Copies of this chain bind each other. A is one copy, B any other.
Amino acid sequence: MNLGKLIVKKGEILQRSGELQTRIFRVESGLLRSYHIDSAGKKHIFMFAPEGWTIADSVGPDQSSDLFIDALENSVVWVYEKDVKKERKNVGKFVKRLYVLQKRIIMLMSTPAIDRYDHFMTTYPNITQRVPQKMIASYLGITPEALSKLKRMRLNKK
């Protein structure tokens, strides 16, 4: 599970979006960061990890990564393999929840409200029918008036 120590130069990429087999990086010295690249090609920094911190993509053992991880300074890094057994038991619930929050943060930073709405509708179809629209707007981070407007604007386009 401990895969050893890695010495990385500033700018080196440790993990790319789309990779399976994501790892966990513990920073002994230096500075790492993780970031997401959106559909328009823009970078959004998800987190910084200075000395003593741990950084990883919070995806389950079978998912491919959403994040890039690279070094902002020359760094020394301990690399760990994810513990698939633990992830399937206790810890898995935490990892899953972390992933949901991670995704939500990335979407809040990089995705327009109407797309977040679509994502919500397909991800939680059952909730959709049980709460008023204004609560979905609140979850999405916009006002009910804005959601109303966005839906109408989409209709008028088609």
Contact = CB atoms under 8 A, between A and B. Distances in A.
Interface of A: 31, 33, 35, 43-48, 50, 54, 72-73, 91, 93-95, 97-98, 101-102, 104-105, 108-109, 124, 126-127, 130-131, 135, 138-139, 141
Contacts of A95: 94
A96 to B, nearest CB: 11
A135 B33 contact: yes
A127 B50 contact: yes
A97 to B, nearest CB: 6
A108 to B, nearest CB: 4
Counting every copy of the chain, the complex holds: 2
A45 B138 contact: yes
A61 B97 CA distance: 19
A98 B105 CA distance: 12
A55 B91 CA distance: 16
Contact of A31 (B45, B97, B131): B131
B130 A73 contact: yes
A130 B72 contact: yes
Contacts of A131: 31, 33, 48, 72
